Amino acid sequence: MKSEKRTAGRPVTPVLSRELIGEQALELVTARGLEQLTMTNLAKRLKVAASALYNHVANKADVVLLIQDALVSQVSLAGMQRLIDHQATLEEALYDWAVSYRAVFAEYPSLIPTIAVTPVSEAPKTLRMYNTVAQALTGAGIPDEQVIDVIVAFESFLFGSALDVDAPSTIFDTDDVTEDSAWLDRVVKASKATAGDPPANGSSEGTADGVRNRYADPPFQFGLAALIQRTKSLVEA
Amino acid sequence: MKSEKRTAGRPVTPVLSRELIGEQALELVTARGLEQLTMTNLAKRLKVAASALYNHVANKADVVLLIQDALVSQVSLAGMQRLIDHQATLEEALYDWAVSYRAVFAEYPSLIPTIAVTPVSEAPKTLRMYNTVAQALTGAGIPDEQVIDVIVAFESFLFGSALDVDAPSTIFDTDDVTEDSAWLDRVVKASKATAGDPPANGSSEGTADGVRNRYADPPFQFGLAALIQRTKSLVEA
DNA sequence: ACCTGAACACCGTTCAAGT
DNA sequence: ACCTGAACACCGTTCAAGT
């Protein structure tokens, strides 16, 4: 243990940077959850005093911003790139992007409300993602003035779907069947009967995407198909 | 000011109840926002000590549960009721429900992540809403085993859309046009040109639903139309 | 400029004491 | 059973003092 404690006063070479803070914040929130993301815990991980963080970030919201920008860069743009290069269809590109987007953000549901309202100008990697998607959709023949609507509609659905992944499988279960729940119970039962009890494939835990709520996938596929179909109908002849 | 301070010890008749706490919590969060919903502020509003709340609620999350159940009862089920009575089409019922649902929750975006994962068994009014929707969709000819998928897909979209209402109108604006933002800027401009600068109708502030983000409506209408169209195609002959 | 450490004004929650 | 008031272990953030 050579944990040499740092003395007060400016260090010869800076210990912290926004990049380092963002990186460690993401690791912290991944390992221990958002509720453990405190300035104190983050500082401890970086082996500095909590107050030192404020030389690099404005406040905790600023830290959250660093996390989400790091997350966005994990979203796959491969399908959109192929669409730009005419190597994929509009449908394939939208599907690839949507599945990847949801999977990434489903890991951090509590970040979603902030992400949803953060201006892209404050998050450079997020800006780049939207730019690529805009380019691909334009190239595929979606009229300029509708591209944003398509992006926002998809995003709304993806954010909501990411939240749903975190819901318990029993979210629609009722304690006892009363008059107020008879219809709901009926359709929930029918749904579970079709889905089958163990996950459809042989994997031991969760689904292919690491989805926790076993029943989250069919509604996601249904909604996604609806949006893709409608988007295709916008393409100019 | 006859603000007679209460003495310690059990009062002859209880001062608090879960109903009263829920009611005041909703008023507090409506008037001053979720970040002002603290046990201390809530207690102040109810003129009790903060610790007194814990005789009626388990913790703060329990208070949030009371709020969301009160909110759900504001969602219009009129369209669904008419569908049950064969006085409305499936399309009309879904549209009415979706618009109302989004409007209600757009007022409280920060509650959405919790709402999205709360089991219905803990929120009786929420349970009743789902039951009515399930009854209406079943009656309209959606196969039992697909009803839940439809509900969850709609809900995902509605939660996400509610979040979007709270986003600033400038969310896609970039500070300066660089290589990384050229395509995005182009489609954003095209979108704004079509939307027109003042709100389409003559109202002085926001849209018909009290929506804050002026650009939130077209993507909402687009996504909703997509989901409704696809849902109609599920109806058995 | 960039760190430490003390301090401030809050949180949610627990619990003994009172009736 | 149901209230008060003191206490506890935390928060995020500020700021003087140090180099």
Interface of A with B in 153-172 (CB under 8 A): 153-161, 163-164, 166-168, 170-172
Model confidence at B208, in pLDDT bands (50, 70, 90)? very low
* Candidates B34, B65, B159, partner chain A, best to mutate (most A CBs within 10 A): B159
d(CA A131, CA A142): 14
Do the Cβ atoms of A72 and A124 come closer than 8 Å?
Answer: no
Q: Is A145 on the interface with B (CB under 8 A)?
A: yes
* A186-195, B155-164, B199-208: segment of lowest average pLDDT: B199-208
Residue B204: its pLDDT value, please? 39
Q: Is A128 on the interface with B (CB under 8 A)?
A: yes
**Helix axis angle, B18-32 to B39-46, nearest 10°:** 110
Q: Which of residues 38-97 of B touch strand D (CB under 7 A)?
A: 47-52, 55-56
* Other Cβ atoms closer than 10 A to A156: 29
Write out pLDDT tens, residues B60-79. 999 999 999 999 999 999 99
Residue B189 tokens, joined: 């401009």
Chain B partners within 8 Å of A190 (Cβ):
143-145, 147
Averaged over A204-220, what is the pLDDT?
Answer: 66
Verify if strand C has an atom below 7 Å from the CB of A51: yes
- What SS3 class is residue B108? coil
Which residues, 6 or more positions from B147, have their beta carbon under 8 angstroms from its beta carbon? A187, A190, A191, B134, B137, B138
B53 CA to D1 C1' in angstroms comes to 14
d(CA A190, CA A183): 11
Q: Is the pLDDT of residue A4 over 80?
A: no
> What proportion of chain B, given as a percentage, has pLDDT over 70?
91
Do the Cβ atoms of B82 and B135 come closer than 8 Å?
Answer: no
Kindly report the nearest CA distance between residue A104 and chain B, in angstroms: 16
**Nucleotide nearest B52 (Cα, C1'):** D3
Write out pLDDT tens, residues A154-191. 999 999 999 999 888 899 998 888 889 999 999 999 99
DSSP string, A189-230: HHHHHHH-SS-SSS-SSS-TT--SSTTSHHHHHHHHHHHHHH
d(CA B73, CA B123): 11
Residue B71: its pLDDT value, please? 92
